Structures are given as C-alpha cells and as structure tokens.
Amino acid sequence: MTDTLPIVEMRDISIEFPGVKALDGVDFRLFPGEIHALMGENGAGKSTLIKALTGVYRIDGGSIVVAGQERQFTGTRDAQSAGVSTVYQEINLVTNLTIGENVMLGHEVRGAFGINWRATHAAATRALAGLGLDYLDTHMPLSTLSIAMQQLVAISRAMAIKAKVLILDEPTSSLDAAEVDGLFRVMRSLRDQGVAILFVSHFLDQIYAISDRLTILRNGRWEGEYPTRELDRHSLISKMIGKDLRALSSLGGSRRVDQRDYESDAPLFAAKGLARRGSIEPTDLDIHRGEVLGFAGLLGSGRTELARLLYGADRADEGETTLHGKRVDIKNPADGLEKRIAFSTENRRDEGIIADLTVRENMILAMQAERGWAKPIPRKEQDELVAKYITALNVRPSDPNRLIKNLSGGNQQKVLLGRWLATNPELLILDEPTRGIDVGAKAEIQEAVVELAENGVSVVFISSELEEVVRLSERIVVLKDHQKIGEIVNGPEITAQHVVDVIAAHGVEAAAESDIIDAEDEHDPDTSTPTRTPQASTRAYAATEEES
C-alpha cells in the first residue's frame, strides 16, 4: 500500500504548551486502505497529535498535508468537512437525542419544510446498516443503548459523513471481547473500502490483531514507523518506554526479601474478585502488614484504576474486600481514611497539592478532614506535627509557612507523603510518588517507603519505573490490559526483566491462543519466575453484565 500517496502526511509537527513541548518534530503518515496504530505511553503525545490533525490544537511548527493539500484545520467541524472523522475514547454523542439524530446531526436531510425527518432517519438506518446495526430503532433515545453500542453508533456517524480518514482514539476501552471482534470486522471492511484508519489502543494484543503499520511516540518525540508484523512485542515495549530492556535488567534486585510465609500470615487487607466495568477486571489481592506491594505495568494498564477501588474513590461493581479479616465496604475516600487507608495521587499538581496554601496547611489537610472541620487541630499540635514530618522527610526549604507551589516537585511530594502519614494509616497507597522529581528526592522517598514498611505500615507502591518497583517491593502485582496477569514474589534473582517478560509473555500467550498472529516473538517467558496467574477468565463477566 505504500506505493500510493499518503492521504495524511504530517511532517515535523511541534506543539508547545506553556513550559512543555507536547510534540517535538513528529512525523506521521497515513495511507488509504490501511489500519495504522499510534503507539506510546500515556502522555507520549498520541492525543495531542490527533488533536493537531483535527485542528483542536494549532501546531507551532511543521506541516499537515491532507489529500495532497496543505491544511491546518480550524476544528473538528472543518476537519470533518475535509473527510477526517474522529471517534473519541469518551463517546462524543448527545444522549438526549435519538439514535438517528446522533448519527445525522449536522447532516440532516433537508427539504422544502426544513429537516425531512423521514429521510433523515432512513439515511441514519443506512449508515447503521454498514455496521450491521440496521435493526436499531433510530427513533429511540441514544441513552437506551449500552456504552459499547453507543461507540458503534459513533462510528456509524463517522461513516455517515463519508469519512476518508477515520480516527479511532481508544475505541475499545469500553468494549468487551465480542464487541471488539465486531468492531474489528467493521474496521477491516472499511479498510478494504479504502478508508484510512488511525487506531489508538493500550491493548497490545489488539494492535497486533488489527493494525498494518504503527508509529511510536515517546515523550512527544517520534520513535519510528514500522510494519506491525516486523516489530516484536519486546522491541515495541522497549521503544515505548524508551529503555533497552537488557540495560534495565542490570539494575535493581537489591531489596531485602522477607521470608514471610504468605500462606499462614493473615493479610491486613484482602480483595477477592474486585472489579469495575471499563476500569479493572476481577482481581484478587492480599496485602500483608508491613509489606510493600508493588504494582507494575505500563501506563494505562489499570494500576491506578485498581488503586482507586482499594481506597474507595471508585466503587467496585463486584467482588469483596476484607480488612483485618472482616468484610468492609469502602464507600468513598473519607470512609477509606477512617479505616486508615490513605492514597496519594499520581496527579500531584491537580489532585494532590493545593497550590495556594502553605506547606503546613497542605500537610494537616487530611488529618483535619478526618477529624471533622468542627474540631480544628490546635496550632501547637499542628506545629509539632509539621515540624516532625518536615524533619523526617527532609522537606526543603523547611519553612512550614511557605506556599507549597514554590517548592520543587520532589519536596511537594514529600509534603504530600507527610500529609498522609499524619493520618497514621495502616495502608498507604502511593501512586507514582517519584514521577518527575529529581534523583535525590526520589531516593529519599524510596527510603521513607522502606522505613514505613519496617514500622508496620503496608504500602502499595505504584510506579512506571520497573527498577524502582522491583527494588522496593516484596511482591509485585503485574497488570496489563486492565487485569492482573501475575504476581511475582520478589527475590534476589528477580529483575525488571522478569516483570517485562511477564507483561510480554502474557500477550504472546493470548495471541497464540486466539490464533490472531504468528508467535514470531522469540522471547520465551521465564519459566523460573514464580508467577501466579489469576484464575478465571476475565472477560466473561463483561458479557453477562447488564447493559446500563
């Protein structure tokens, strides 16, 4: 297909947001009749590139050529009229109108007396028929459909307006396996009709199942464009996370390993079949007293989603949790805090610190919230507490009255850690506590984590840096595609490579089972790794779940 001209050619695209280079010299080509996967971790610039193409963002450098003409769209509307149609991850339809209207909005068939509704609904039915959905009653409100069906309606809409380029940004994240198969059939049939499809998904299996070529982005930079079948999973993951896996594996493994007897030691916190549709598949989990439990997996693998279920930010659809052997239902974060489960967010700036408050105020926030606002913490107690954590965590500068926004990221993180420690938690969940902070602060936070565990606090440690997880954790829960795919008991022989192997091997197994691609990957899963795979096929629950 590369002998034809690309329908979309983006060259040397740069986009800057204040202080951040979101895209830096990215090239991207899309040919008619291909399914092209755009790969990269969260924050690599995939969505930014899509928004640059559709004109939601203006580009600061580079050129975009669509169908032979240099274009800079002014927005979705403009892009749509040039045949570039986008289906976003969050379904962008309006639930207050009918199915037919959602397909045809802005393109209704008009006659002498305004919109001809009969013809409009007929056209909508024709568009839906392309996806085999012509049995839908287009007069029913969209809200009567399941999320998956809405996603398919959104794709029908893209087809109703005769798209030449179809952009699918994570269309599969809310679909179950059967629905994904259906979507893939549609995508292949569109491809065969000459539509160029840009596909974004965090699910590697899906990428290998459907895409012809892929482009990899990392940290806003172009990492390469490959035919999908010529790039094995290991190389793909390496390029996405930007580190040679062999180099990675030389680090880590220095963590002392408890000779804990996991069978007899009753866990502090246990979850059984914990699941939430669209965010995490049923998961079993034990957390022991004074243990550091690592969550490893690529960004978007479900690490944060799982953590959110543990402390009550999201409610689980099913499964049960026990604390101290007693069944508990954690309704919300405040409830979690009351049960002495604390969570420190990965989104330090937006969900963590309150920029315009001082270090002291930020630090006592959670403790005060736990006590209730009617009982203010006496100033003296505040001072003692804050001084204690500033010293213990080595917050610099050590002035409690400084506004937190003037501290470096690493020190902000220490203040946040102090905030949760002040609540005296039994279980502390740290989501990416070391992201974006300098090496020194990172080491200090890691030390603090180890120390906490030694003092009997259970810590769930989530990080994208596998070496860090391996170094700190006693056990590592490996997540991929929103499910727990394994659990590794840490030991001197365990390295980041083992974790990567578990992640990569899982995909190969799944792919080999379903005969979608040839197992061309020569890396065998390391059989010496003590791996517990979760029982139960994880997709089954989705199919039986009622449509909302």
Is 155 or 275 the residue whose CB approaches another protein more closely? 155
How many whole angstroms from its chain centre is CA 353?
A: 22
Q: How far apart are CA 409 and CA 379, in angstroms?
A: 27
Is 8 or 158 the residue whose CB approaches another protein more closely? 158
Minimal distance in Å, beta carbon 346 to another protein?
24
Minimal distance in Å, beta carbon 194 to another protein?
19
| Cα–Cα–Cα angle for 328, 480, 459, rounded to 5 degrees | 45
Is 87 or 248 the residue whose CB approaches another protein more closely? 87
Q: How far apart are CA 462 and CA 292, in angstroms?
A: 10
Minimal distance in Å, beta carbon 114 to another protein?
3
Question: Alpha carbon of 513 to those of 203, 421, 460: distances in Å?
Answer: 16, 46, 32
| H or E element in which residue 221 lies | strand 221-227
Q: Is the CA virtual torsion 189, 190, 194, 198 positive or negative?
A: negative
Are 80 and 161 spatial neighbours (Cβ–Cβ below 8 Å)?
A: yes
Minimal distance in Å, beta carbon 135 to another protein?
5
Backbone angles phi, psi at 286, to 5 degrees: -120, 140
Minimal distance in Å, beta carbon 296 to another protein?
34
Is 73 or 222 the residue whose CB approaches another protein more closely? 73
Question: Alpha carbon of 259 to those of 198, 413, 449, 505: distances in Å?
Answer: 49, 31, 19, 28
Is 85 or 215 the residue whose CB approaches another protein more closely? 85
Query: In terms of Cα–Cα distance, which of 171, 225, 196, 208 is closest to 34?
Result: 196
DSSP bridge partners of 66 = 8, 69
Minimal distance in Å, beta carbon 89 to another protein?
11
Binding site for another protein (CB under 8 A): 75-77, 79-81, 86, 88, 91-98, 101, 105-106, 108, 110, 113-115, 131-133, 135-137, 139-141, 143-146, 148-149, 152, 157, 178-179, 182-183, 185-186, 189, 547-548
Is 182 or 530 the residue whose CB approaches another protein more closely? 182
Is 191 or 288 the residue whose CB approaches another protein more closely? 191
Minimal distance in Å, beta carbon 321 to another protein?
25
Contacts by 445-449, CB closer than 8 A, 24 or more apart: 445/410, 445/413, 445/414, 445/417, 446/471, 446/472, 448/392, 448/393, 448/414, 448/417, 449/292
Is 135 or 373 the residue whose CB approaches another protein more closely? 135
Is 246 or 539 the residue whose CB approaches another protein more closely? 539
Sheet of 326-328, strand order? 280-287, 269-276, 318-323, 326-328
Minimal distance in Å, beta carbon 410 to another protein?
35
Are 271 and 285 spatial neighbours (Cβ–Cβ below 8 Å)?
A: yes
Residue for token pair 């936070």:
445
Cβ-based burial of 329 (10 A; exposed 0-12, middle 13-18, buried ≥19): exposed
Is 401 or 548 the residue whose CB approaches another protein more closely? 548
Question: Alpha carbon of 257 to those of 260, 276, 493, 529: distances in Å?
Answer: 8, 32, 11, 15
Minimal distance in Å, beta carbon 351 to another protein?
21
Is 139 or 324 the residue whose CB approaches another protein more closely? 139
Omega within 30 of 0 (cis) for the link into 267: no
Is 113 or 373 the residue whose CB approaches another protein more closely? 113
DSSP annotation of 228: G
Q: How far apart are CA 375 and CA 380, in angstroms?
A: 14
Query: In terms of Cα–Cα distance, which of 186, 221, 184 is closest to 39?
Result: 221
Minimal distance in Å, beta carbon 209 to another protein?
16
Is 151 or 228 the residue whose CB approaches another protein more closely? 151
